[in-house]
Structure 1
C-alpha cells in the first residue's frame, strides 16, 4: 500500500504544479489585461483547488502509513535532529498544508469577489504565495538537503 500511495503522491505533484502554473498565468493575464472572468477561468480555479485537495488527501494517508514518519513519531528526540527524517515527519507536511490552505483561501476569496479584476487579482496573489510555499518544500531531485526522484514508479 505504501509504495502505491508514494507513487501516486509523486505523480499528482506534477498535476498540482501544472494546474497552479496555468491558473496563475490566467490570473495575471486577466488581471493585468483587464479581461472578463469567464466560466473557463472559474473552472480552472475550481479544478486547481480540487487537485490540490486530492494531493492533500493522498499526502495525509501517506503520512499515516509512512515508515519514515512512524520512526519520527516514535523516536522524536533523536529523529528531530536527523535532517531527512525531520523533513518528512514535520517540515514537509506543515509547509504543504500551509500551501494548500493558501490556495484554498485564494480560491474561496476569488469566487466571492464581485468584479472580474478583483477575482483575477485575488486568485493571482493567493495562488502565487501558495505555489511558492509548495515549491519550497518539495523534495526536489536536485536539492542538496533532501532529494527524491522526479517520478516514482508504480
Structure 2
C-alpha cells in the first residue's frame, strides 16, 4: 500500500522544519535569548580571561571593568607623571577616559614576558619597579586598582616594550 502525499503537504512539512531549525539556531547564537547580554552592565566580566589568549586583544581595546573577584581593572596606555615620597603617579588613557593612579611600594609591577614564562610566580617580576614606572610613556598596561582620589593601584601588568 502506497501513501500518496501531495506536494503542498510536503512543502508545509519542509517549511515547518526550516522554521524550527532557524528558531533553535537563533536561541543558541550569541545574539539569541539564551546568551543575551540584556540586563548586564557593559563593563561586567563573567569569567577570568586566559591571560595568554586575551592580553594582546585587551590591550588593543581600552576598557574599564570589574573583575570576578570584585577588583576594578582598566586597560589603556600609561604615562609616568611623577613621584612624591614613596609613591609614584601614572596616568592611564583608556579610550576617552583618563585615570590617575597612585603606585605605592606594595603595588606589584609585572612584565608580560615574565608572566608568560612563569605563570605561577606570585612575586612581582619587574626588578626595579620605580625605574619601570619612570619609563612608561604611552605604554600599554593592565591595572587592577582600588577606586579613590587618586585611585590606588594593586598591580600593574606592563605589556609594552618600554620596560
TM-score (norm 1): 0.24
Task: Pick the structure with greater CA Rg.
Answer: 2
TM-score (norm 2): 0.23
User: Structure 1 or 2: larger helix share?
Assistant: 1
User: Structure 1 or 2: larger strand share?
Assistant: 2
